[in-house]
Amino acid sequence: MDNTLPDQYSSEEKEEILRRYQRLLSVWQTRKEKQDLDMVEKAFYFAANAHCNQRRRTGEPYIYHPIEVATIAAQDIGLGRTSIVCALLHDVVEDTEFTLDDISSMFGEKVSHIIDGLTKLDKVENAESMQAENFKKIISSLSYDIRVVLIKLADRLHNMRTLSSMPPHKQLKIASETSYIYAPLAYRLGLHAIKNELEDLSLKYRDPVIYESINKQMNEVRAERTAQLREFLVPIEETFKKRGMEVSTQIIERSTHSIWKRMQKKQLTFDDLYGNFNIRFIVDCPLDMEKIECWKIYAVLTDVYTPNATKLKDWISTPKINGYESIHAVFMSKDGKWVEVHIRTKRMDEIAEKGFTAYWQYRTDNQTESGFDEWLKRVNELISSESDSTLDFVDTFTNDLFSDEIKVFTPQGKPITLPKHSTVLDFAYSIHSEVGNHSIAAHVNNQLVQLDQKLKTGDQVEIITSEAQHPQEKWFEFLNTAFAKSKLKAGIKEYRRSFREKGEEKFNDIMKRLGLEASKANRSKVMEDEHISSAVDFFYYLAEGKITEQHIQKVLKPQSSSNGSILRYLTFGLLGGSDSKEKKEATVSSGEFDFNVATCCNPIPGDEVVAFTFPGEPLQIHRSDCPKAIEMMSRYGNSIVKAKWQPKSEIAFLAGLKITAIDSIGLLNKMTDLLSNELKLNLHSLQMESKQDLVESNISVYVHNTAELKLLIDKLSKLHGVKKVVRLV
């Protein structure tokens, strides 16, 4: 194919395409010898010609997208020639007439292999979720070439940057998928800048009101907070100069999504939250001097300002599993404000921004295995293990490999990294399947505990086992990791196999007494009625007496049929959405749909809401920022209906509030008088607990919409002694 742009592009478009291509070359920082440049140029012109008849929803030439993806891969992730070529070609096989064989013949087998990993599956027969199937395909590439995932993250970032051209239901689907799967994946690969931008853009489309509100508040305080931090730095930089220390400083803004999550977690307003702006100290020094130089900076800070000892976090001695290293500390400024600082070296800073690629660039041959190596091992174990379904795979990946970690120790002092909230039994299965299967208890820090005891960082754990013990179904209730659950499931299956002969004998005897054939067809009818999918389980339940002759007789020789039960749904006068070909947003008059209001987030009229439609089921209504809704949108994007509330005025909805106030006589009377007499609201429940001089109240009250709820919050906040009122999810 000629190194020219086809005439399907206008002269202005050709000029813009070449300008973007030159920018790609300028940000490419790895090896750029002639053969590298020639290969990238060949891929550029090939992609430009292949996509020449395609346009994005904005009307722009489609080739803009692969060029921008390649630019992100080169600039933000630090990838090289092969990855840039693959980024330029990543949509060719999926969207044009060219095949993987064409790619292989022109660019080689390695490029073809990566492109195959990036190409979406057309259709998987009987798939529960095509979103999950495609995600599993991408994740599986971690076992053979991590560049597939890195390019996919670059692709997702550019798609999020241009998401405004998509219809609302697609925006919700893609934004939720991004925050549930791709942003945590970027975090796990150490790509903090990309992770932050993905989360911010996701929040922008899921909850635009929150996003705009926080951005507006950041704009209002930026100049003032920056000036305060520069003043904070003056005596520190003077001390650096006196001691001959060369340290660079940066004022960093926390991401919009991060601020929102901290506001939710701490139940604080924007104004009450510190650390929205912080200071980063960076020193360039040899690898063997890094710890010393970082702690020297910390020592200078303690000479000038008073630290908050409870907020000190040492991620240098014990790096995060994604390779992140830094000292985090908080100091009191002269004007009485807490200031958060991060201390790191140039190497640590590059790893924090570019993650995996920078980590391998700095890795030495004699370096011990890192947390990142451990994480990749866990990924490969998951990929190679059997899973009942793709959705199980995705659950395992998100639950086990995206969660925060704890580090615990064996009796011999060997550190074991586990997901946060792991239990003693999770630990046992992480050691070995047989240890888990025969566990009866444990010593944690020399104290005897049960198998459901949750572990925390620093615990030393010794598992107590017995050969008489066997894996049990009830253990699923206190396992946190999907990896341990899969091991337990396999252990139960193996244990139950030993009952097959006894179960078969019992089945044959029962069938003989009933005058029926002990056939597979008859067995299947009983299994279906008892909701049993495995013959191993069937014969085990028979052998243990959990399936009796009466059960079998009822199924195979029924005397009478029982009446079917009808599940009735309460229909509120709410809401709407339409599911036409274009899936456009709509509002429907009251009473046209059966729906369920999700109890996990308790949406009320005025909230940003989303509805899910599944065959034969009522609509499910969630707040758009509900974690459960985000998970569902990342799986079932085609079932989303963007909904608006249009309630009947007499319908009231339950909302929860948490009120923190100074404990005083008459507080309860003031609150109930406001609710009942002034606002005429119906109180559902109220709980109060006194904690020293403060009292915390949780109330549930029926309101008609968010405007009414906001009025209630405002009036409660103005009551004498009330310090904080927050809405409960």
Residues with active-site annotation:
94-95
Note whether 356 and 73 are within 8 A (CB): no
The tokens for 262 are: 């901290």
The residue to which tokens 């710890």 are assigned: 291
686 φ, ψ to 5°? -150, 130
What gap in Å lies between CA 623 and CA 609, rounded to an integer? 4
User: Burial, 388: exposed, middle or buried (Cβ in 10 Å; 0-12, 13-18, 19+)?
Assistant: exposed
Terminal alpha carbon distance of the chain: 58
CB atoms within 10 A of CB 590: 15
The total number of residues shown for the chain amounts to 729
What gap in Å lies between CA 187 and CA 356, rounded to an integer? 10
Q: What is the distance, to the nearest Å, from the Cα of residue 630 to the centroid of all Cα atoms in its chain?
A: 9
259 φ, ψ to 5°? -60, -45
CB atoms within 10 A of CB 161: 13
Three-state DSSP at 118 gives helix
Q: Which of 328-342 are b and which e, b meaning 16 or more Cβ less than 10 Å from the residue's Cβ?
A: bbbbeeeeeeebbbb
Radius of gyration of the chain (CA): 30
Amino acid present at 433: S
Longest dimension (CA), the chain: 99
464: left (phi over 0), alpha (psi -120 to 50) or beta: beta
Query: Which DSSP helix (H) or strand (E) runs through 420?
Result: none
Residue 343's DSSP bridge partners are 281, 327
Three-state DSSP at 450 gives coil
Q: Can you state the percent helix, strand and coil of the chain, rounding each to 5?
A: 50, 15, 35
Residue 449's DSSP bridge partners are 442
What gap in Å lies between CA 176 and CA 631, rounded to an integer? 7
Note whether 37 and 75 are within 8 A (CB): no
Helix axes 482-497, 371-384, angle to 10 degrees: 40
Residue 480's DSSP bridge partners are none
What gap in Å lies between CA 425 and CA 481, rounded to an integer? 10
What gap in Å lies between CA 182 and CA 721, rounded to an integer? 44
